[in-house]
């Protein structure tokens, strides 16, 4: 079977134990994560051959990061050792009315300062049929947007399917800059993934009848967003996740997949959250798996939403669930009876 | 006051901390548990004189297991030191739509390979008035079903009340084998305990109008099951626990006690779960205590359900609550105001 | 800007990790807390200059206690080193139907045995404009009620505003003794803080149409309590917190501020609880901050209730939230979306 | 086989993890310990039937304390539930040039305030042949010295052997008070245990040619101390532990047993210390076991010193080693080769 | 570069934290280890392409085991999923005079019950030039000795170098059975690794002038053992590790490599031990690396002994040190100055 | 009493628990440290009024850093909130032959990018009599060397004593650049602190008869270094620490203070190391305290070396020992007998 390539930054994630705040912490749980790395781990969990492309420093922290990917079956042969630092992000888990908080310390990271020559896309894509990246990658600036464009061109030329999660991060770039850069990259994208706000933030594409604050958006509104994205950039599929945040403890979660003029919606899950960071990435990873496996459109969105529902019950970013577990939920489970 | 004897396997329980999955764990919380051991601990908590009969290896892990029982006041004078291994089970705590998972590694354990001669029932029952075991015990196979039969016969002969929790485990034996073996043992049982599925799994006894998947069963259905059990095997009392699993985080829980043609139902509790493993055992332990103490039928079921409701808020299998705490809940508490 | 002085006992708080019971614990989390110390930390968090007045033993545990206050910006220059022991309290976190439990071991503490001469109120109040204490302080007995009276007199003489949280603790004194002592102190109190039961316990002041057990009290009832307190003792403001305990996991929480014949109510929050100990203190601290900052009456009660809502999501007693976080919630937030 | 009774205080021991200081700790390891409780655990480890007599409060911390004794096989049937607090001591583990530090918070404990009527010595000693206590017990003052005298008288009358570890604690009483009280109790003591300084501190009995600071004492000096103790009080056996503290990390350890005019010395061990608190108690427990088992004099001191050498490698106070492990070391082991 | 294959059992290793004993543990650190797996990790650390061949159960604990190998770069493509249980071993870390203790619970493991057909040696060895196994593997009995013989034959036929660490375990088989089985396998072995006792235990080959208990053996004695092994079985190289156990805390460690009639000795290290389990395996892994890299004989033994010296300072079995770190020590380092 | 000002960078320190390597860590202990911050904490521990001047980001990690200083009594009123990141350093604790390892991730930190205008030295030094900085500060480059020069000039002008620890870090700057910059700053330095290699690295000042590798240097050699430093730059006092690294577990440690042509040496300590990071800083902090307190020259060096000896037994960088503890060791203690 052919291979998936994902490309982006991976960071050290530090979070206090449980619900402690950062100012209370005298120890941090350490894990490694990043949008595209998270997708790679999801794909490996479901049995796909997948390699993650990035750059990390040569020292022990960089090695620990590489090890975390190997541990869960992700290929690391294209990870460059260069630069001086692994980006870091701190996570403080919210509860009830207190939001989770993320502090980024990723500037000047090995990845964000990596060079065009660090990546030989012909070699990287040699055995691949799918290329995935997210909007966070070009948002890192420096030479990365251009590297991203290189990668997309090479992918297209070599016949890979390209997927992109818009993943707008206002701390990394402005809406204007995002719109400009992403508009140059989107024409290469076959499968576009977004949450309920990304299309508006990056491209000013808005659904009618939407009220994000209240967490409600008419179904028709999402279809409208998908059609506009497909219309403007030629994407073949557009997938949108829909989150209603009741509180930091309880969220509702569902999604839509639009393809060829047809939209399918998953059922909605009410989730007691263990850790929601990485929720969107787990959706993307499951979606790619389901499409590659040839599931039908409804099954694809059901699989992707069930997988990402389960992610909210898993500590840290990686969605460590099996295909069987996702299927069990997608097919109507979720009552949480003990498996023994 | 006279003594209770419980008989069965006790294992090392290993679970990752919090909601971590096994593949994420670099440490396990270690405790010791087993259906009949859990019942013994409940009985000791409420002030009963109780001894647990089993077999464990002579090494340090076996000793740690014995110590865990002594710590909570259970007599260990009849625990045999024999064989090579203490059975193990791994627990992964579920949340929301993700189920808890139990992996058993109990084959070839000291207990399951113990011999008839390891247990001298006349001595064991000398000061006892009650004997409790569960369907897990004969399910372990080997010589255990016969030892179980020996014990039941001796108990009857010596005038003890015998209680049994059906506790069907499909990984340990088939429905056919269970039905065959248990049918030979049930005639000795005075008090039969079961959950909403056991009677069907083991004896094919079904209530009418039941839909276990939806978590609903008409009250009349449970009465019908109890009456069939009593009718077929001569049990004097039948107690049934009723669990509605909303999710791995929230369950609804109540119970019924049938005796002499009369059925009493407890109120239903909606529970935010801390750890539900051992929930059924805590029901059994509290039920035996309440019956031995001479409570009236309604008080017995109220006590047993309140006790097992509280178990769901306690980490690990043992139900470490006091009689006063159970009474406070059974008598209408549960608002969770701070006790100070 | 002028300074706030709070006066009372600070203790070592020991609690098992997570939901473990004390009998299961082989380690305790250690922090330092007390009603008036908690208020001081809240005030420091919001940028107030505040010093805490107390007495602790000269040894390392006393020093660790002082350090915990310095860590969060509270002045400790008036803390006396005297006596032999730091009071202790054990907390066991409840869940669902199981209540949290607090065990006090505070008798004979350095503070409770401190002497009149340990505190030079003229010096302490030199730069201050506000003095806060709670009903726990005189409840400790010995010379403390008289010291408390001294402090109130000095505060009044030096022109400070005096606030008091009634904070009745039945384990520390009887209703009769409380009523007697507090009646002598209340005339010095400008701002009175109470929960839904304190006024009845201490002064026999009851609202009509109240049913505390059911957690419901008519709004008019609270206004009636406030007016009686103001009428009897001359308080200018009376603030009351209203807790409905659904379970140990879920509480509803709101509050009222009465001033000059006018009562304002906050909105009600439904809270998934992380740790509710210190909830009332966090209300007091936020209330004092809001009043000192000159917010209008409605804004004051909104701020105080939002702050104390957030406290329920913070581990341990200190309410480690910022003014910005409180404002965000008071102004309509609370959906718990990730901040990044 | 007959039973041993030990009598004294048991406390909650709190220590930071590893080498952390108290001011650095945000959690404490919790265990339960006390001179005579430690001896009881040693005796239970070696297979003796032993009960510990004391008083603890009725709350959960008191229960956890009782459970710690049951866990290791000590009888707790004579432990009184009374009073309000369990004494506490804080331990900070030293290393190299930094000493370990112990802070006591034991005043007003349930035990120290217990009454004569709490203990019915006739019942307690009914099945016993040995009574052990230490100098810490009468040092607690209040009614305890008299209770101690009662116990000694009853023990003698009922034919028990009485052993006492002098265990002088300067923070509990003065040398003068100790000398006075202990002089009244020593005539009941058959087996006297002491360290290299106790006899001097309590009775002014000094060896010639001693230099405690340098950790050296001539062998003849110890014999002289033993003979003086035996001569003055009529003890039949005197055992002395000899510690040379090279640093907080390395100690040298040996001991002497004098009996009937004859002195036997053990070999000396150089120990890398894990936790030395409880070292003396482990010597006493092993000594009593060895004497009761009828070992010859040299074997007794070899066993006691080997056992207490091993204690220094065990975390917390209880000496959790088996008779076989002690014998292996006493008979020439100690090279620390892996046992597998 | 060509590949190394190692073959054997891998287990779950459970050890209490720090120096706690098993009876004190309420949590275990979890890692995965086994003689040949440890060697594979060493080889991967030094940059070798290496795959580990074994069998583990299909459940989550088996997967976690596989993940631990992937994490450190070991190929797992030939690990069979079969059987029901992963073997377990418990480790209790010793200190000073108290020995470390290992308890095995490995009977009936997936590996020990694996079948001839589970392993296709032609495929496994296709890209390999080296095959390593240890005496533990055939000691597991059942079909394993025959599988081992198959593997050796295939390896020889396909031109691989075969290395074997004698690794005698008296709990797994008798000296007689070991001698018999190993004698049939040794003729395939090119490089034989042993500790100071193995040759005597398995083959009765003894050096003159040896006194293992005292930890001393004349250099000539080791040469004699090596020559006898080479003479009897035709090994080309014999490497022997020499451990002097001063205590469980301090060991002395060196080694010898005999080849073609010539013996080279390393320098001796005095080691403060962090964790010595896996010490011998780390020697084997480093030795194979050094030989494959073409180092000269003295450099090989220096490298192997330095690497295994460092292992004693690493927690758990895997020797997570780099080639550069080993070289730095082998070339004269070891003063432990901070690297910054 | 007047105040001390220290100036430099403070970082987040992350280290795995115990002896785990970074690649094994799934959690890090978090503390905050830096050369001049460590000195400030030492001074506060001994009762000095001290403020630390630095820059940290405005977010929660920056606040946690400030809190760590307040916790131990250091003034933080001059710490600027600016920039985006707190520098980080990772520490891996070595043992025996394995060195500790430090990985810096401090580039682009708030402090290193701070501006001249961030520090108003006239205000900062208003109440101060002593200014301390180390060679790490100018080594950070950017505008810092010039800020450092500003500070030195202002300090001199305002009559403060200036002390500097040379603290050469080869990863931060070259020997040439260090020599150049430091030569411009040294003329302002009254008290120069160095370790056995700094003077050679920075200024090429070498003692005769030295052999750093072997850890030996003649006493006369150190005097020669001190005299050259004093001669070239006009320092009034030169203090040198002398470390002999036996292994990562055991170091020997002493020091020399030269003043006015006279050199005093302390006694040498052999130390079992708990954590040696911050050892040099603890020497500097104690030295400044001892000089400010007016101790005589021999007492100063004895105090500084005893204090820094104790630091090696304290986890993390801050030397949390009291003046009394230092005096006890300096006056001849160190046998590590338990303090109780």
Nearest chain B residue (CA) to D67:
B71
CB < 8 Å to A336, chain B: 94-100, 245-249, 251
Interface of D with C (CB under 8 A): 14, 17, 21-23, 25-31, 59-61, 63-64, 67, 84-86, 88, 90, 92, 101, 103, 105, 107-108
> What is the per-residue pLDDT for A1?
55
Q: How far apart are CA D111 and CA D148, in angstroms?
A: 12
Q: At what angle do helices A60-71 and A35-45 cross, to 10 degrees?
A: 30
Q: Which residues of chain A have pLDDT under 50?
A: 215
Does residue B332 register a pLDDT over 90?
Answer: no
Inside any domain, residue A220? yes
Does residue E214 register a pLDDT over 80?
Answer: no
Min mean pLDDT across B68-82, D38-52, D98-112, F198-212 is at F198-212
Nearest chain C residue (CA) to F71:
C71
Range of the domain at B90: 3-330
Does residue B210 register a pLDDT over 60?
Answer: no
Q: How far is B110 from chain E (nearest CA, A)?
A: 12
As beta bridge partners, residue B163 has B132, B191
Residues 6+ apart with CB under 8 A from C134: C8, C35, C36, C39, C164, C165, C166, C167, C281, C284
Inside any domain, residue D340? no
Chains with at least 3 CB pairs less than 8 angstroms from chain C: A, B, D, F
Phi (first) and psi of residue B110, to 5 degrees: -50, -45
Of the pLDDT bands very low, low, confident and very high (cuts 50, 70, 90), residue D339 is confident
Q: How far is E66 from chain A (nearest CA, A)?
A: 8
CB < 8 Å to A60, chain F: 21-23, 90, 92, 101, 103
> What is the per-residue pLDDT for E333?
81
DSSP of D239-255, one letter per residue? EEEEEEESSSSEEEEEE
Condensed to tens digits (0 to 9), the pLDDT of residues E148-201 reads 999 999 999 999 999 999 999 998 999 999 999 999 999 999 999 999 899 999
Buried b vs exposed e over D50-68: b needs ≥16 C-beta within 10 Å?
Answer: bbbbbbbbebbbbbbbbbb
Averaged pLDDT of chain B: 95
Q: How far is F251 from chain A (nearest CA, A)?
A: 26
Inside any domain, residue A337? no
Neighbours of A296 (CB within 10 A): 10
Inside any domain, residue D287? yes
Interface of B with D (CB under 8 A): 67-68, 70-73
Averaged pLDDT of chain F: 95
| Closest by CA position to E297, among listed E261, E325, E244, E252 | E261
Do residue E88 and residue B88 have CB atoms under 8 angstroms apart?
Answer: yes
Q: Cα B35 to the chain's mean position, in Å?
A: 4
C168, C192 in Cβ contact below 8 A? no
Do residue B70 and residue D73 have CB atoms under 8 angstroms apart?
Answer: yes
Does residue D121 register a pLDDT over 70?
Answer: yes
Q: How far apart are CA C84 and CA C74, in angstroms?
A: 23
Inside any domain, residue F335? no
What percentage of residues in chain B have a pLDDT greater than 70? 97
Averaged pLDDT of chain D: 95
Condensed to tens digits (0 to 9), the pLDDT of residues A3-42 reads 999 999 999 999 999 999 999 999 999 999 999 999 999 9
Phi (first) and psi of residue B22, to 5 degrees: -60, -40
Phi (first) and psi of residue C317, to 5 degrees: -80, -35
* Strand A11-15 with A88-92, pairing: parallel
Does residue D213 register a pLDDT over 80?
Answer: no
Cross-chain CB nearest to C72 (options F67, F72, F73): F67
C114, C143 in Cβ contact below 8 A? yes
Q: How far apart are CA A204 and CA A207, in angstroms?
A: 10
Inside any domain, residue E251? yes
Number of domains in chain B: 1
Q: How far is C101 from chain B (nearest CA, A)?
A: 5
Give the 3-state DSSP-derived string for chain E, with helices as H, strands as E and coil as C: CCEEEEECCCEEEEECCCCCCHHHCCEEEEEEECHHHHHHHHHHHCCCEEEEECEECCCHHHHHHHHHHHHCCCECCCCEECCCCCCEEEEECCECCECCEEEEECCCCCCCCCCHHHCCHHHHCCCEEEEEEECHHHHCCCCHHHHHHHHHHHHHHCCCEEEEECCCCCCCCCHHHHHHHHHHHHHHCCEEEEECCHHHHHHCCCCCCEEHHHCEECHHHHHHHHHHHHHHHCCCEEEEEEEEECCCCEEEEEEEEEECCEEEECCCEEEECCCCCCHHHHHHHHHHHHHHCCCCHHHHHHHHHHHHHHHCCCCCCCCCCCHHHHHHHHCCCCCCCCEC
How far, CA to CA in Å, does E232 sit from each of A11, A200, E181, E203?
A: 56, 80, 15, 10
How far, CA to CA in Å, does E86 sit from each of A161, E68, E80?
A: 41, 14, 12
Cross-chain CB nearest to F102 (options E314, E315, E338): E338
3 state SS of A109:
coil
Nearest chain C residue (CA) to A214:
C335
Mean pLDDT, range E248-264, rounded to an integer: 96
Q: How far apart are CA C22 and CA B312, in angstroms?
A: 17
F110, A107 in Cβ contact below 8 A? no
Q: How far apart are CA B9 and CA A226, in angstroms?
A: 58
Does residue C336 register a pLDDT over 90?
Answer: no
Neighbours of D294 (CB within 10 A): 8
Does residue C52 register a pLDDT over 90?
Answer: yes
Q: How far apart are CA E135 and CA E153, in angstroms?
A: 16
Does residue B279 register a pLDDT over 90?
Answer: yes
3 state SS of C191:
strand
Chains with at least 3 CB pairs less than 8 angstroms from chain A: B, C, E, F
Q: What sign does the CA torsion over E242, E246, E249, E250 have?
A: negative
The ipTM, to two decimals, is: 0.94
Cross-chain CB nearest to B108 (options E61, E63, E107): E107
Does residue B239 register a pLDDT over 90?
Answer: yes
Q: How far is D300 from chain F (nearest CA, A)?
A: 27
Condensed to tens digits (0 to 9), the pLDDT of residues A161-192 reads 999 999 999 989 999 999 999 999 999 999 99
Of the pLDDT bands very low, low, confident and very high (cuts 50, 70, 90), residue F211 is low
Do residue A71 and residue E73 have CB atoms under 8 angstroms apart?
Answer: no
Q: How far apart are CA F135 and CA F121, in angstroms?
A: 19
Does residue D123 register a pLDDT over 80?
Answer: yes
Inside any domain, residue C337? no
DSSP of F85-149, one letter per residue? ---EEEEE--BTTBPPEEEEE-TT-TTTT--GGG--HHHHTTTEEEEEEETHHHHT-TTHHHHHH
Do residue F336 and residue D94 have CB atoms under 8 angstroms apart?
Answer: yes
Q: How far is B199 from chain E (nearest CA, A)?
A: 29
E47: left (phi over 0), alpha (psi -120 to 50) or beta: left
Site from E15, E56, E65, E85 to mutate, B interface, most B CB atoms within 10 angstroms: E85
E161, E282 in Cβ contact below 8 A? no
CB < 8 Å to C336, chain A: 94-100, 245-249, 251
Q: How far is F105 from chain E (nearest CA, A)?
A: 12
Give the 3-state DSSP-derived string for C17-46, with helices as H, strands as E and coil as C: CCCCCHHHCCEEEEEEECHHHHHHHHHHHC
For residue D256, count CB atoms less than 10 angstroms from its CB and return exposed for 0-12, middle for 13-18, buried for 19 or more.
buried
Of the pLDDT bands very low, low, confident and very high (cuts 50, 70, 90), residue B229 is very high
Q: How far apart are CA C68 and CA F48, in angstroms?
A: 19
| Closest by CA position to A79, among listed A62, A98, A102 | A62
> What is the per-residue pLDDT for D216?
53
Phi (first) and psi of residue D266, to 5 degrees: -85, 175
3 state SS of B163:
strand
Give the residue ranges of DSSP H helices in chain B. 35-45, 60-71, 121-124, 136-139, 144-157, 175-185, 198-203, 219-233, 279-292, 297-311, 323-330
Phi (first) and psi of residue B32, to 5 degrees: -130, 135
Which secondary structure element, helix H or strand E, spans residue F25, and what is its range? none
Mean pLDDT, range B81-94, rounded to an integer: 97
3 state SS of D126:
coil
For residue D170, count CB atoms less than 10 angstroms from its CB and return exposed for 0-12, middle for 13-18, buried for 19 or more.
exposed
How far, CA to CA in Å, does A322 sit from each of A76, A306, B92, D54?
A: 21, 11, 14, 55
pTM: 0.96
Interface of B with E (CB under 8 A): 14, 17, 21-23, 25-31, 59-61, 63-64, 67, 84-86, 88, 90, 92, 101, 103, 105, 107-108
> How wide is the angle at C-alpha D255 spanned by C-alphas D253 and D257, nearest 5°?
175
DSSP of C309-334, one letter per residue? HHHTTSSSSS----HHHHHHHHTT--
> What is the per-residue pLDDT for C214?
52
Condensed to tens digits (0 to 9), the pLDDT of residues D288-318 reads 999 999 999 999 999 999 999 999 999 999 9
Does residue D1 register a pLDDT over 60?
Answer: no
> What is the per-residue pLDDT for A333?
81
What percentage of residues in chain F have a pLDDT greater than 90? 92
A170, A201 in Cβ contact below 8 A? yes
Cross-chain CB nearest to A96 (options C271, C325, C338): C271
> What is the total residue count of chain F?
340
Do residue A272 and residue B96 have CB atoms under 8 angstroms apart?
Answer: yes
What percentage of residues in chain B have a pLDDT greater than 90? 92
Do residue D313 and residue E18 have CB atoms under 8 angstroms apart?
Answer: no
What percentage of residues in chain E have a pLDDT greater than 90? 92
Q: How far is E103 from chain F (nearest CA, A)?
A: 23
Nearest chain A residue (CA) to E63:
A72
Inside any domain, residue F96? yes
Of the pLDDT bands very low, low, confident and very high (cuts 50, 70, 90), residue C210 is low
Cross-chain CB nearest to F320 (options D24, D169, D248): D24
Condensed to tens digits (0 to 9), the pLDDT of residues B252-262 reads 999 999 999 99
Min mean pLDDT across C2-11, D151-160, F204-213 is at F204-213
Of the pLDDT bands very low, low, confident and very high (cuts 50, 70, 90), residue D336 is confident
Of the pLDDT bands very low, low, confident and very high (cuts 50, 70, 90), residue D337 is confident
Own/partner pairs, C286-290, CB within 8 angstroms, 24+ separation:
C286/C42, C286/C46, C286/C319, C286/C326, C287/C163, C287/C191, C287/C193, C287/C239, C287/C257, C288/C4, C288/C39, C288/C43, C288/C130, C288/C132, C288/C163, C288/C191, C289/C42, C289/C43, C289/C46, C289/C48, C289/C323
Does residue C218 register a pLDDT over 70?
Answer: yes
Do residue D97 and residue F336 have CB atoms under 8 angstroms apart?
Answer: yes
Q: How far is A203 from chain C (nearest CA, A)?
A: 20
Does residue F213 register a pLDDT over 80?
Answer: no
| Closest by CA position to A129, among listed A17, A43, A251, A239 | A43
Q: Domain containing C46 — which CATH number?
A: 3.40.1190.20
Q: Cα B172 to the chain's mean position, in Å?
A: 16
């Amino acid at each position: 079977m052919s291979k998936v390539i994902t490309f982006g930054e991976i960071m050290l994630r530090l979070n206090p134990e449980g619900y402690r705040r950062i100012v209370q912490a005298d120890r941090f749980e350490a894990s490694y994560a990043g949008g595209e790395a998270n997708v790679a781990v999801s794909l490996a969990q479901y049995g796909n051959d997948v390699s993650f492309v990035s750059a990390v420093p040569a020292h022990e922290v960089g090695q620990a990061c590489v090890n975390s990917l190997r541990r869960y079956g992700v290929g690391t042969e294209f990870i460059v050792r260069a630069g001086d630092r692994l980006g870091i992000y701190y996570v403080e888990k919210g509860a009830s009315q207190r939001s989770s908080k993320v502090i980024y310390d990723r500037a000047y990271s090995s990845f964000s300062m990596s060079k065009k020559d660090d990546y030989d896309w012909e070699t990287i894509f040699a055995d691949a049929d799918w290329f995935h990246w997210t909007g966070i990658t070009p948002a890192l600036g420096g030479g990365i947007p251009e590297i991203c464009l290189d990668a997309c061109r090479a992918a297209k030329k070599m016949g890979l399917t390209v997927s992109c999660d818009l993943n707008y991060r206002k701390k990394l770039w402005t809406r204007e800059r995002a719109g400009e850069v992403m508009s140059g990259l989107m024409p290469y994208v076959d499968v576009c993934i977004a949450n309920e706000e990304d299309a508006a933030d990056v491209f000013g594409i808005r659904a009618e009848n939407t009220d994000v604050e209240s967490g409600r958006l008419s179904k028709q509104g999402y279809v409208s967003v998908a059609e506009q994205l497909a219309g403007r950039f030629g994407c073949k599929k557009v997938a949108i996740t829909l989150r209603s945040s009741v509180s930091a403890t309880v969220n509702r979660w569902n999604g839509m997949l639009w393809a060829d003029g047809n939209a399918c919606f998953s059922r909605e899950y009410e989730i007691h959250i263990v850790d929601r960071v990485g929720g969107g990435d787990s959706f993307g990873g499951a979606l790619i798996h389901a499409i590659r496996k040839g599931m039908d459109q409804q099954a694809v969105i059901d699989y992707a939403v069930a997988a990402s529902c389960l992610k909210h019950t898993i500590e840290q970013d990686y969605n460590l669930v099996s295909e069987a577990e996702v299927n069990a939920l997608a097919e109507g489970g979720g009552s949480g009876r003990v498996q023994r």
